Structure formats: structure tokens, C-alpha cells
Amino acid sequence: CNRKGKTPRRLPPKKASNSQKDPVGVYCRVRPLGAEDEECCIEVISNTTIQLHAPDGLKANRNGEFKETQYSFKKVFGIKTTQGELFEDVAKPLVEDIIHCKNGLLFTYGVTGSGKTHTMTGSPGQGGLLPRSLDMIFNSIGPYQAKRYVFKPDDKNGMEVQNQVDALLDRQKRDSQTTVPKTPTTRRIDPEFADMISPEEACKADGVDEDSSYSVFVSYIEIYNNYIYDLLEETPIDPIKPKPPQSKILREDQNHNMYVAGCTEVEVKSTEEAFEVFWRGQKKRRIANTQLNRESSRSHSVFIIKLAQAPLDADGDNVLQDKNQVNVSQLCLVDLAGSERTSRTRAEGSRLREAGNINQSLMTLRTCIEVLRENQMCGTNKMVPYRDSKVTHLFKNYFDGEGKVRMVVCVNPKADDYEETLLVMRFAEMTQEVEVARPVDRPICGFAAGRRQRNQAFKEELTRRLEERGGPLDGESPTVLNQLLQSFPPLPPCEISGPNDDVTLPRLIEALEKRHKIRQMMIEEYNKTANMLKSVLQEQDSNLLSKENFIQEQRGKLGEKDKMLQNQKNEIDRLEKKSKMLEYKIDILQKTTNIYEEDKRSLQHELESREQRLQREMSEKRRMEARMQGIVTDSKLKWEKECERRVNAKQLEMQNKLWVKDEKLKQLKAIVTEGKTENRQPQRPSREKDKVPAKRSASPSPVPTGPPVRPLHRRSHSAGGERWVDHKPNTNVDLDTVLQPNLPNAIKVNAPSEKALSKCDKYVLTHQEVASDGEIQTKLIKGEVFKTRGGGQAVQFTDIETLKQENPVAASRKRRSSETGPDGEPKEGDWTDVETRCSVAVEMRAGSNLGPGYQHHGYPKRRKP
């Protein structure tokens, strides 16, 4: 407790620090139709929902526009709902709140004639929410009300506590003004508002703090054309020249609550008194409306019930003299102007502007609600245009700060109102979505509870004790002072009979002395009691102080914990948001991953198939390569062989040609040399001769006579004579001829081999060919074998024997043709023919690997690496 002396701690500012919010409570009341045969367009379908039916005329005109026709509210009150039932649900919680230091705002909204005033004010026998609220307040705080003027409103929407003396003086001043009737004693109630509430309907709030003192203040204002008028202001009414009422302005107090500056606040002590004040304002309103030609349905009326409460002091006797301990809560009861549009008001001329302004206020209210809703729902921070109208400006703190807000939407089910009612419903539905901070609980004051009761008990005890000293006189009220006075011995008659009266005075003196003695005694006793009480109180006070300190400490801790909790909550919120975001991100990433994985899988699949294909192609390629390699090697080998063969053939051919030429040359040479010698004989005639024995027989020695051409080179003859290589190719045909060359000791070969050649010195080739006459002709080509310088063997052909078989029929012809030469010599053709044959024979060998030409010239068999 931040306490100075015995003053309990300051109350914290009333500004909302509560994060809890409640939606604006919207209730719907359907009034009965004026006449039973009227068309009804509203149906209550449950205790929270109504259904709107478009009237027949409208339905026909605008098809399909009125589809959404159900509206839900916190509660719907049908035509049979009584004022008491409505109060029970709608206003009672607000009254409970005001008693527990929480503000409340209750307004009725609807089209003119929909029952707003009926709901708020009511009529005799059917009191509305306003008289019932007042009644409940007084029922609840009745016994705990402070004396009048103990609470005194300052001019800044605050409340001061006056000391007893000032309050008493104010009371005396009021009493002297006869205009104000003494409320508690007078029970004459204006018949206009009699029976607003019957005693059996009275209700009471629970949990009223009886250690507090209460006072109710009411004010009543009207907002017309966006001007505020004080309906309780005491102004002399001049019936001849009525003074136009002065408008008031709005101010903001230190708690940021809006208030009407300089507005009359009347302290009332009972329901009747309060309602009387209200009625006074109502009357004034009516008069002003008639005087100024205004339409009352166009104005908003605001009745404010302010409840001031302050704790009793430690003695429980008086209200604590501390302004900061005063708590003021208020309940605003607002009867709004008709919500209908200007066109419906039949406003003309000068009234049009006013009507427009009134609508403007309601329009601002609608806009404010819309913006509030948007801000709350979307988390935006749009400015709410409270200041655009007095009504909304006045209620700013209810929506911005804290306090319960409730609205009764009044509807008339008649068809004429249908379109307006639709607008009302839409506004009402929207209003339900606005949230208002929940008011926080009033902090507990620092004093011990039960002070009022203890004080009362003390007072009773004192009275009892004083009574013991002498009962009160008849007719006198048993006040403490009277009791004290009565406890003194009565004064003797103090009328002095004459100058010599010496009895009266001494008797008076004696009596006074006696009284003085008693007084002294009483003072002593009083002091003793007072001291005792003081010490008890001090003890209690110190107890209290320590308890307060403890409480304060705990409160501090609680505050810290609260703060920590709040921080943690914020952190949790933040983390939750973050986690949500991350979850969202994860989700997206998961999806992306899935897509990628899918991609990967398909790519892998493709890769695999491509690899397989590649493998296949590779193996195919390898196979092809191997095949190609094989083909290449084969063809290379073939071509190598072929090339070799061709080269060899060519070489052989060339050699043979060379050899033939050589041979010719040699023969020519021989001829030339033969002519010089005695045994000169041309080669040709020898040939000629050769032919002849072939016809006769095979010559026993095919070797021509005469010495060898080159004896030096000749192989030495063995003892057995010459050794022959008898070369008979396999192609030869056995002709079964009689004359066969007889070659003893010959080595028979079908292809000339070097080995054979090296062993012999003579060579004979048996060559068969078809002659020009078609007969097979066998030639024996003879030669001598020589060793070449390179180590090979060479054959020098020396002789050719021709063996010819002849068909006896064709023989003559053949012979004739051969003998047709001019000088008996064989024709050049023959010579050429042999030459060619020989060449061919040799060529035939050349086709084989070891052709004779090759051998003859003794080239060693050589292969390239």
C-alpha cells in the first residue's frame, strides 16, 4: 500500500488494462402490430433468430433481392415479452456492473415507432429499462447511501468527498430552497409516471460492498441536430419570450472519458426522486420541442446514472476523506433517434437540415461500428471517426476503453417499415461483431471488511450505555447528545424571585457543580474508553498496515507474474505464428521436394533406360567391331595374298619375258657363233629336226649335240651320267604315247623345287597344249641347271622337243600347212607359238607359290615381316 498516514493506497487509473474482450450484446425486440389485420413481415423463429418476409408489394417489384432474411442475435424478444423479462436479460447485468464499479452503455435503436421509448422509458404500469435500473440500484445500495452532499461532483467529471460540516451546510442550504421537495418524506408521485415499477418486481444486486458509501447522480441530456442540451439545467422559463437553450460541449477527463462540460448532475436518494428528475427533464424536452418546432423522434436522449462510491474510513463511521478512493461508474441509457432515412420523415423546409444532421449522427455511429469491426477483424488500425458526431464522441470510451455495451434493436413488424427494418438488421448484425474490452474488477481497498457493522454495533453499545444513565425524555429523539443531556440531574428553577433570593443561585450553583462533577466523571470515563479504543484501533491499524504491506507485496509479485505471463503469452503467440509460417513453408518445401523427387525418379528411369540402350548399342558396336575386324583381317590377308600373287605373277611375267628375250638373244648369239665354227648349225634347223623325231619317235637324248654354252657354269657330271629333274605338272594328261622320254635317275616333280634343282644339272618340263588343229601337243622343254651367284638355281633352257599326236585324217592337212613355208622352214608363227606356249607354261607355274621363273632366277624365298 502506497499509504500516507492512515490513507489507504491510491486506486489505479480506471483505464483498461484488460486484454479480454466481449462482443457488443445485441438484442432484438419485436413490438406487436398496431392493428391485427396489418401485414406482418417479421417472424420470430427461435429465441435468437428472426425471419424477415418481404411484403407482397416489394416481392413483386424486386425479385430475388431479399433472399438472406434470417437474422440472429444474442436474444430475440417476441411481442409477448414483458418489460420485466427484458430488464432481467438486458439491463440487470449492467446494473450489477455499475454497482461493482464498471461502466455500461445501453441504447435502443430502431425506426420511429418501433418501441425504443417504450423499451427504455415505458409507460405507467409498464416501466421500461430506465426506471427499473434506477430501482435496482437503490434497492441494492439503499442502506449504504452516503448523506447528501458528502460526494460532490467537481467540474472535471470527477467526484470529491466533502467533510461532514460542509455537507451539512450544503444540506441546510438545500433545505432552505423550498422549490425542491424533500424527497424521502414526500411520497406524492406524479400520476404521469406512477407505477413505473411495482414493489414485487424489485430486484437487488448481489455482493454490494457494505463498507462503502454510495451516492447516485443523474444527468439527462438531449442531442439534437448535433447539439447537446442539458435537460436538467435550472433556467427560469419565460413563457412570453422563451430563451433558446444553450448547447453544451464535450470534454475529455483525465481518464480519457468523454463528458458534457457543465452538465447538471443531480444527486438522488431514491428511485422516485430519480425518476422525478428524469420526468422533469422529459417535460422540459417536450416543451422545448414544441416551442422550437422540433420532432422528438429526431433527437437522441441520454440519461446518465452515475454511481459514486468510496470506502468508509477505518472507524466505519464516515466516508474516507480521500478523493482518490472515490470510484465513479456510470450507466448510460440512450434512446436514439429514429433510424429511418430522411425521405421517410416527411421533413420539409427548415426541418430538412435538422433531419439530415440527425441521420448524420446515426450514420457516423454506423461508420464507427464498421471501422471498429474492420480494425478488429483485419487487425488494421484505421481511425474511428468518433468525433464526427456528438453521440459517437460521447461514447468513444465505451468502444475504445472498456465497459459493457448493449443494444436493443427495436422492430415493428409492419410491412411499411420493411425496408428500413432491413437496414436496421444489417447494422445490428454488424454491431454484434464489434468487441469491447471487458472491464476489470475493482481493486480491493486497503481497509478490513466489516467496518460498517462494527461501527453500528459500537454506536448501539454506546447508546445502550448512555441509556442506562437515564432514559430519554418523551417526544425527544434518542440522539446521543440528547441522551447525554438527559443523564445529567435536572436543573432547579433558575428564576430569581427577588434581590434577596439567595436560594436559587446557590441551588443552581450546587446543581451545576454536580453536573460539572458528573461531566468530569464522564469525560474521564470517555477518555478511558477512548484511550482503550485508540490503543485497540492502533493495534488493529498496525495489524492492518502489516497486512496491507503484505498484500501490496503480493500484489507487486502478482503484477510481475502477470507481466511475465503476458510476455510469455506474447512470445507464445509470436512463436505460434512463426511455427505456422514455418509449417506452411515446410509444406511448400515438401511439395517442391515431392515434385523434384518425382522428377528425379523419372530422370533416373530415363537414365537407366538410356544406359541400357547404350549398353546394348555398345555391345552391338563391339560385336560389329569384332566382325569388322575379322572382315578387315580377312580382306587384308586376302588382299595381301592377292597383291603378293599379282606382284609375283607380274614379276614372273616380266622375268619370263626377259628370259625369253634373253633366250632369243642367246640363240641368236649361238647362231652367230655356229656360223663361225665347223659345226655351225642354226637353232632353227635343230628345231626343225626336233620336230621330225617327234613324229618318228622320241629322241633318246633330248640334249642337242655340241658343247654346253657355258661349260664353266655347268654342274659336274656324276659318274652315272646326267641327272634330270623331270617336271610334269599334275594337269598333264596321260596320252599313252609310245614314245616317252627315258630319263633314268631322274627326280620326278610336279612342281619345280629348289631342292630337286640343286641335286640335278638337267631340267625337262613336259608341257601339254592344244595345237591349232585341235590335237594335244606335248613339248619337252629342256634346259641346264646353273648355280646363280646369289645361291639359287637357274635353268637355262636349251632345247624344246615337240611330241605331237595326229589324227590320221587330219594329218595330211596339218603337215601340208606346216610345209607351206616358202623355203621349207617353219613359219615365224610356229616360232612365235612355241615362245608363247613356253611363256604360258611358265606363267602357269607363276600362279603357284613356287613358280619356275622365280626359282630359275634363284631369288631366295623371302617374306616381308
- Selected from 8, 25, 110, 852, the binder of ligand ADP by CB under 6 A is 110
The alpha carbon of residue 429 and the mean position of all alpha carbons in its chain are separated, in whole angstroms, by: 30
Least separation in angstroms between residue 79's CB and ligand ADP is 6
Contact criterion met (CB below 8 Å) for 15 and 255: yes
Q: Quick one: 83 or 145, whose CB is closer to ligand ADP?
A: 83
Number of residues in contact with Mg ion, rule: CB under 5 A? 2
Task: Give the annotated binding-site residues for ATP.
Answer: 110-117
CA distance 42 to 53: 6
Torsion sign (Cα): 755, 756, 760, 766: negative
Beta bridge partners of 437: 21, 402
Nearest CA to 640 among 864, 317, 352? 864
Number of residues in contact with ligand ADP, rule: CB under 6 A? 14
- What does 327 interact with, of ligand ADP, Mg ion, none (CB < 5 to 8 A by kind)? none
Least separation in angstroms between residue 408's CB and ligand ADP is 10
- What does 114 interact with, of Mg ion, ligand ADP, none (CB < 5 to 8 A by kind)? ligand ADP
Least separation in angstroms between residue 109's CB and ligand ADP is 9
**Region from 55-63, 111-119, 470-478, 833-841 binding ligand ADP, contact rule CB under 6 A:** 111-119
- Which element (helix H / strand E) includes 560? helix 504-676
**Region from 68-76, 107-115, 303-311, 482-490 binding ligand ADP, contact rule CB under 6 A:** 107-115
Q: Quick one: 85 or 539, whose CB is closer to ligand ADP?
A: 85
Interface with ligand ADP includes 118 (CB under 6 A)? yes
Torsion sign (Cα): 134, 135, 140, 141: positive
Interface with ligand ADP includes 113 (CB under 6 A)? yes
CA distance 2 to 525: 37
**Region from 20-28, 115-123, 459-467, 518-526 binding Mg ion, contact rule CB under 5 A:** 115-123
How many residues would you count in the chain?
A: 865
- Selected from 27, 76, 112, 267, the binder of ligand ADP by CB under 6 A is 112
Contact criterion met (CB below 8 Å) for 329 and 97: yes
Contact criterion met (CB below 8 Å) for 271 and 138: yes
Interface with ligand ADP includes 297 (CB under 6 A)? yes
**Region from 95-103, 116-124, 435-443, 639-647 binding Mg ion, contact rule CB under 5 A:** 116-124
**C-alpha cell at position 845:** 607355274
Contact criterion met (CB below 8 Å) for 303 and 134: no
Beta bridge partners of 799: 782
- For 225, which DSSP code? T
- What does 31 interact with, of Mg ion, ligand ADP, none (CB < 5 to 8 A by kind)? ligand ADP
- Selected from 15, 22, 32, 859, the binder of ligand ADP by CB under 6 A is 32
Interface with Mg ion includes 802 (CB under 5 A)? no
**Region from 117-125, 141-149, 768-776, 833-841 binding Mg ion, contact rule CB under 5 A:** 117-125
Beta bridge partners of 767: 779
- Closest-approach residue to ligand ADP (CB): 115
Q: Which amino acid is at 695?
A: K
Q: At what angle do helices 92-99 and 129-141 cross, to 10 degrees?
A: 40
Torsion sign (Cα): 330, 335, 341, 342: negative
Cα distances (angstroms) measured from residue 32 to each of 87, 463, 502? 18, 59, 90
Least separation in angstroms between residue 117's CB and Mg ion is 3
The alpha carbon of residue 188 and the mean position of all alpha carbons in its chain are separated, in whole angstroms, by: 70
Nearest CA to 312 among 442, 209, 459, 458? 209
Q: Quick one: 31 or 285, whose CB is closer to ligand ADP?
A: 31
CB-neighbour burial class of residue 69 (10 A; exposed 0-12, middle 13-18, buried 19+): middle
The torsion region of residue 262 among left (phi > 0), alpha (psi -120 to 50) and beta comes to: left
Q: Quick one: 26 or 410, whose CB is closer to ligand ADP?
A: 410
Site string for ligand ADP, 405-434 (x = CB under 6 A): -----x------------------------
Q: First-to-last CA distance in the chain?
A: 124
Contact criterion met (CB below 8 Å) for 802 and 694: yes
- Selected from 9, 116, 390, 393, the binder of ligand ADP by CB under 6 A is 116
**Region from 67-75, 114-122, 674-682, 781-789 binding ligand ADP, contact rule CB under 6 A:** 114-122
Contact criterion met (CB below 8 Å) for 219 and 334: no
- What does 115 interact with, of ligand ADP, Mg ion, none (CB < 5 to 8 A by kind)? ligand ADP
- What does 152 interact with, of ligand ADP, Mg ion, none (CB < 5 to 8 A by kind)? none
Interface with ligand ADP includes 309 (CB under 6 A)? no
- Which element (helix H / strand E) includes 551? helix 504-676
**C-alpha cell at position 829:** 608363227
Site for Mg ion in 706-735 (CB under 5 A): none
Interface with ligand ADP includes 401 (CB under 6 A)? no
Nearest CA to 544 among 320, 319, 213, 314? 314
- What does 255 interact with, of ligand ADP, Mg ion, none (CB < 5 to 8 A by kind)? none
Contact criterion met (CB below 8 Å) for 765 and 844: no
Interface with ligand ADP includes 114 (CB under 6 A)? yes
- What does 118 interact with, of ligand ADP, Mg ion, none (CB < 5 to 8 A by kind)? ligand ADP
**Region from 108-116, 177-185, 346-354, 664-672 binding Mg ion, contact rule CB under 5 A:** 108-116
Least separation in angstroms between residue 282's CB and ligand ADP is 13
Nearest CA to 218 among 334, 329, 305? 305
CA distance 67 to 73: 18
Q: Quick one: 298 or 782, whose CB is closer to ligand ADP?
A: 298
Least separation in angstroms between residue 140's CB and ligand ADP is 27
Interface with ligand ADP includes 715 (CB under 6 A)? no
Site string for ligand ADP, 320-359 (x = CB under 6 A): ------------------x---------------------
Least separation in angstroms between residue 120's CB and ligand ADP is 8
**Region from 116-124, 380-388, 400-408, 815-823 binding ligand ADP, contact rule CB under 6 A:** 116-124
Task: Give the annotated binding-site residues.
Answer: 110-117
Contact criterion met (CB below 8 Å) for 294 and 354: yes
Interface with Mg ion includes 117 (CB under 5 A)? yes
CA distance 778 to 775: 10
User: Which residues would be at the binding site for ligand ADP (CB under 6 A)?
Assistant: 31-32, 110, 112-118, 123, 297, 338, 410
Footprint of Mg ion on this chain (CB under 5 A)? 116-117
